[in-house]
Amino acid sequence: IYILGIESSCDDTSASVICNGKVLSNVIANQEVHSKYGGVVPELASRAHQQNIVPVVQQALVQAKVDKKQLSAIAFTKGPGLMGSLLVGTSFAKSLAMGLQIPLIDVNHMQAHILAHFIEDDTKAPPFPFICLTISGGHTQIVKVTNHFKMEVLGETIDDAVGEAFDKSAKILGLPYPGGPLIDKYAKLGNPKAYPFTKPKVGDLQFSFSGLKTGVLYFIQKQLKLNPNFIKENLNDICASIQYTIVEILMDKLKNAVKQTNIKHIAIAGGVSANSEIRNHLQLAEKHFGWSTYIPKFEYTTDNAAMIAITGYLKYLNKTYADNSVTAKARLKVTE
Ligand code: ATP
Ligand code: FE
């Protein structure tokens, strides 16, 4: 069974071909245009998707050595995401499926981030039920996953997503978008306890990151008045301290979730699960708390079409197809 997956929810155009759940290709075209604006510009994103989609799909087929006539179905991201971006992938997938007369499968992007754990070696995938901490550019959720398609949100952020906390803090430090990976990089050389930032007081399974962002802003402004070179001279320590605070918040909430559910199979998913510190802490939790932890392969953390294709494959096995009236949805819950 060959599935073509197409992802275009935000600023990456991606296409992937998988065969019986094994990835044959996973092509990702990043959009450089946004870095100088400090965030994704929706209008530029959808225009770039229009330019990228045909060559990216073509390259995915060529790399997989699969002819489009061999495809069993086409899976695409229905939402959540930027409307203009989603529409490009949705209309492309619809017309291609119609032309080839094969099933069309709509995929929920947030489910796909979680189901990325089932790519390739599914003996290493988390057993049900498991807890997934989904941490991305737009979401921060603790999800109880009962089976591939039964998911329940136990808690989530009341304001910013954790990816935004990384990116906005990075912006305050003058780093380009997306700043998350850069904070990770500089933090490796810094002292995580150099500058204490306060953790928010919210419900046991809730998150809040807007206060941290403001805390970083005020702290930096104050320090810059005393020393205009403060950022330059202390970048590693600042990044390490911000990252340490964020990872502590995430780990605290996971501990609460384990306490409440008694489930000790813990996975992470989404772009921020690429972060080396959260990966380290999760691994340590195996030893310290007796959890079994599941960390996605680095290339399947940030947006990619392989996760869309694997979700499409699982839905294909269930014969859950979309009909041709399906439309993109900018807002879509992980449970929908
Ligand atoms: P969503 O999936 O919620 O719709 P998205 O698709 O925009 O949002 P992802 O692609 O899953 O988000 O993740 C992107 C986010 O991950 C960005 O905020 C980016 O800074 C962050 N990120 C990527 N790598 C790292 C890293 N190593 N450390 C911290 N953050 C990171
Ligand atoms: Fe995403």
- Which residue has its alpha carbon closest to ligand 1 atom 7? 137
Rounded Cα gap, residues 245 and 103, in angstroms = 46
111 phi and psi, to 5 degrees?
A: -65, -40
Q: What does the mean pLDDT of the chain come to? A: 96
Distance 149 CA to ligand 2 centre (A): 18
Which residues are documented as binding site for substrate? Answer: 134-138, 167, 180, 184, 275
Average pLDDT score over residue span 80-108 = 98
Q: Quick: pLDDT tens for 267-295.
A: 999 999 999 999 999 999 999 999 999 99
Residue 53 near residue 85 (C-beta atoms within 8 A): no
Question: In the predicted model, is pLDDT for residue 38 greater than 80?
Answer: no
Query: 11, 166, 244, 331: which to mutate for ligand 1, most atoms within 8 A of CB?
Result: 166
Please report the pLDDT score of residue 48 as a whole number.
Answer: 92
Question: In the predicted model, is pLDDT for residue 120 greater than 90?
Answer: no
Of the listed ligands, the closest to the CA of 30 is: 1
Structure ipTM over 0.90, yes or no: yes
Angle at 159 between CA 257 and CA 156, to 5 degrees: 20
Distance 77 CA to ligand 2 centre (A): 10
Please report the pLDDT score of residue 121 as a whole number.
Answer: 74
DSSP letter at 189 equals T
Burial class (CB in 10 A: 0-12, 13-18, 19+), 153: middle
Distance 28 CA to ligand 1 centre (A): 15
Burial class (CB in 10 A: 0-12, 13-18, 19+), 67: exposed
3 band by pLDDT with thresholds 50, 70 and 90: very high
Query: Is the shortest distance between the CB of 296 and ligand 1 below 6 Å?
Result: no
Please report the pLDDT score of residue 122 as a whole number.
Answer: 67
Q: Quick: pLDDT tens for 291-310.
A: 999 999 999 999 999 999 99
Residue 336 near residue 112 (C-beta atoms within 8 A): no
Q: Quick: pLDDT tens for 123-145.
A: 789 999 999 999 999 999 999 99
Which stretches within 155-268 are classed as H helix? 162-172, 180-187, 210-226, 230-261
Distance 302 CA to ligand 1 centre (A): 6
Rounded Cα gap, residues 20 and 313, in angstroms = 8
Query: 272, 282, 299: which to mutate for ligand 1, most atoms within 8 A of CB?
Result: 272
Distance 267 CA to ligand 2 centre (A): 16
Q: Quick: pLDDT tens for 7-37.
A: 999 999 999 999 999 999 999 998 888 877 8
Please report the pLDDT score of residue 269 as a whole number.
Answer: 98
Please report the pLDDT score of residue 220 as a whole number.
Answer: 98
Residue 296 near residue 112 (C-beta atoms within 8 A): no
Residue 296 near residue 117 (C-beta atoms within 8 A): yes
Of the listed ligands, the closest to the CA of 176 is: 1
Query: Is the shortest distance between the CB of 136 and ligand 1 below 6 Å?
Result: yes
Q: How far is CA 200 from the centre of its chain?
A: 23
Rounded Cα gap, residues 316 and 102, in angstroms = 11
- Radius of gyration over alpha carbons of the chain, in Å? 20
Query: Is the shortest distance between the CB of 135 and ligand 1 below 6 Å?
Result: no
Rounded Cα gap, residues 236 and 185, in angstroms = 9
Q: How many CB atoms lie within 10 A of CB 128?
A: 13
Query: Is the shortest distance between the CB of 137 and ligand 1 below 6 Å?
Result: yes
Residue 208 near residue 158 (C-beta atoms within 8 A): yes
- One-character DSSP codes across 274-324: G-HHHHHHHHHHHHHH--EEE---GGGTSS-SHHHHHHHHHHHHTT--B-T
Please report the pLDDT score of residue 246 as a whole number.
Answer: 98
Query: Is the shortest distance between the CB of 272 and ligand 1 below 6 Å?
Result: yes
Distance 286 CA to ligand 2 centre (A): 26
